[in-house]
Amino acid sequence: MTTKVIKGSIWTLAGNVAPLAVSLVATPFVIRLLGAEGYGVYILIGLIPAYLGFADLGMSMASTRFGSEAYGEGDRQKEARVVRTAAMIAVVVAVPVAALIAIFAPQIIALFNVPDAFRGDALVALRLASITFVINFLCLIFNTPQLARLRMDLNTLINAGSRILGIIAIPIVLYLGYGIVGAVSVLLATSVLNLLGHLIVSRRLLPDLLGTSIDRTMVAPMLRFGGALVVASIAAITLSNAEKGILASTVSATALAYYSVAFTLANMMTLFSGSMVQSLIPAFSQLQGEPKRAQLDSIYSRGLRFSMLWSLPVLVFLALIAKPFFTMWAGPEFGRESSWPFYFLLAGLFFNVFAYLPHTAILAAGRTNILAKLYWLELGPYMVIVWFLASRYGPSGAAAAWSIRTIADAAIHFYLAKRVAGVAPPWQGLTGFVIGVVLMTTPVAVMMYLGETTIGVVLWAVAAFVVYIVIACRMILGKDEIAWVTSVVRHRLGR
């Protein structure tokens, strides 16, 4: 199963990287066509529905978990009923929430300091986004047959294909003069295409998928699982996005644009770990129980060691290219204003990379109630910290607040995963990893002190990377893992 998880993660990673690569080309056009202020409003329109991402009652995750269990048991009819039950619950709850967004759109827009020149477009765009909001929930439910079978290749092609179409179309629509409303309309159209793709492919994998019956016996356990997840998600979504909303309301939409550009690049740190989650949740769900404990522990520890292997080089690379990249990509204004927020974000995201595995283990164990308690306990102190730092130090303060919370959250996740899911981080490789952290972050510290990336700093970083690879092979990865990586590489090259 380890091989399936890795393959699935690579497919999901490819599905994230391909749209990101297209976005890196398209976004500068979007920024220049809308301007910094307009771009901030556009980001805000997508952010407002994101605050209500819990409105499916956790059914996207419940569908994956219970659908994967049914698939593991070989009960295809139960799997289909689970998916339909999740979709029914999500629609019953999400449609009224979307209607409320549309009805109270003027009041919502007024809360976020949207400039007068953009209020009319923002109002229409938010109402369109409320429709997309519901469709996206259904996409995350009807892809369950693909996830349960670890067919991340199919899931990736559907998701990435629709996203890429949307990313390409948005600057074209803006160039033709349709503004923010046109851009949001493109997102709605691509969401519809995405849902159609999932319905067609998932029905081929699970012929019983489309029907009218639901599984009444699964409603209660799914609501218990999803209900606790919703309680957790309300706090988690606020924790993930509070700094953006506070930044827009206490500083300006332009400050939000600077921060969002920094966060977009920094979030590349989580691409692989985030990609593993879609494969790990069904895999971990099928490995619950003492007879399969050894296999679960093996996948968990290997995931952490592979995260150690790639995370440091990616952090260093992103830090070194940040300022020149922002300057060339979005303009000198963003090169000046987005670089330091980016550095602060990297500190938190570095720890967040590792937290994905204990988080997934807790979810697969069905202990969403633990996450709910954790996020609500974090919320109060975090809101105080982010308001204090963002209102005084702008985007850099918001980034620092986000990273402080993320580092603490990662440590707690590891503790909880050991307590409730029985998995613990491997001690193997920890010493080598610490040595690597000191070795590879030193040129980054020098670059930040100088305020620019010099040739000397780049050469220093390259030399540190070579040494780190040697350390990783000797002290972090096991012999079996090195042999597995070598065999996979040789197999791919041989093809």
pLDDT tier, 109 (very low <50, low <70, confident <90, very high otherwise): confident
Confidence of residue 493 (pLDDT cuts 50, 70, 90): low
> From CA 450, how far away is CA 455, in angstroms rounded?
12
Q: Which of 277, 250, 139, 261 is nearest to 202 (CA)?
A: 139
- Let me know: does 346 contact 397? Beta carbons within 8 Å: no
Tally Cβ neighbours within 10 Å of residue 216: 9
What Rg, from alpha-carbon coordinates, does the chain have?
A: 22
Provide the pLDDT confidence category of residue 6 given band limits of 50, 70 and 90.
low
The residue ranking higher by pLDDT, 306 or 87, is 87
Q: What are phi and psi of 149, to 5 degrees?
A: -90, 5
SS3 letters across the chain: CHHHHHHHHHHHHHHHHHHHHHHHHHHHHHHHHHHHHHHHHHHHHHHHHHCCCCCCCCHHHHHHHHHHHHHHHCCHHHHHHHHHHHHHHHHHHHHHHHHHHHHCHHHHHHHCCCCHHHHHHHHHHHHHHHHHHHHHHHHHHHCHHHHHCCCHHHHHHHHHHHHHHHHHHHHHHHHCCCHHHHHHHHHHHHHHHHHHHHHHHHHHHCCCCCCCCCCHHHHHHHHHHHHHHHHHHHHHHHHHHHHHHHHHHHCCHHHHHHHHHHHHHHHHHHHHHHHHHHHHHHHHHHCCCHHHHHHHHHHHHHHHHHHHHHHHHHHHHHHHHHHHHHHHHHCHHHHHHCHHHHHHHHHHHHHHHHHHHHHHHHHHCCCHHHHHHHHHHHHHHHHHHHHHHHHHHHHHHHHHHHHHHHHHHHHHHHHHHHHHHCCCCCCCCHHHHHHHHHHHHHHHHHHHHHCCCCHHHHHHHHHHHHHHHHHHHHHHCCHHHHHHHHHHHHHHHHC
Q: Report the pLDDT value the prediction gives residue 201, as an integer from 0 to 100.
A: 95
| Token couple for 34 | 């809308």
In the predicted model, is pLDDT for residue 32 greater than 60?
Answer: yes
Phi, psi of 50, rounded to the nearest 5 degrees? -60, -30
Q: Please tell me the predicted confidence (pLDDT) of residue 196.
A: 96
Rounded CA separation 339/322 (Å):
6
Q: In terms of Cα–Cα distance, which of 251, 358, 351 is closest to 311? A: 351
Backbone φ and ψ of 423, nearest 5°: -110, 140
8 Å CB contact between 337 and 258? yes
Torsion 439-444-447-453 (CA) sign: positive
- Gap between the Cα atoms of 298 and 280, Å rounded: 12
29 vs 8: CA distance, rounded Å:
33
- The model's confidence at residue 247, banded by pLDDT at 50, 70 and 90, is confident
Q: Which positions ≥6 away from 175 have C-beta within 8 Å? A: 29, 33
Q: Rounded to 5 degrees, what angle do the CA atoms 103, 108, 109 make?
A: 110
Cα–Cα distance for residue pair 54/368, rounded to 1 Å: 13
> Percent of the chain at pLDDT above 70?
89
Tens of pLDDT, residues 150-207 = 888 888 899 989 999 999 999 999 999 999 999 999 999 999 999 999 999 999 999 9
Least Cα distance to 188 among 247, 120, 132 occurs for: 132
Tell me what the pLDDT averaged over the chain comes to: 84
- Angle value at C-alpha 363, between 347 and 197, nearest 5 degrees: 90
Residue 342 has pLDDT above 90, yes or no: yes
Biggest CA–CA distance in the chain, Å, is 66
pLDDT band at 430 (very low <50, low <70, confident <90, very high): confident
Provide mean pLDDT across the span 463-472. Answer: 88
Distance CA 231, CA 255 (A): 30
CA angle 371, 372, 375 (to 5 degrees): 80
Single out the residue of 87, 86, 88 nearest to residue 222, CA to CA. Answer: 86
C-alpha 274/C-alpha 227 separation (Å) is 23
pLDDT of residue 182: 95
Confidence check: pLDDT of 408 > 90: yes
Cα–Cα distance, 334 to 299 (Å, whole number): 41
pTM value surpassing 0.85: no
Please report where in the chains the tokens 């994956």 appear, as a residue: 64
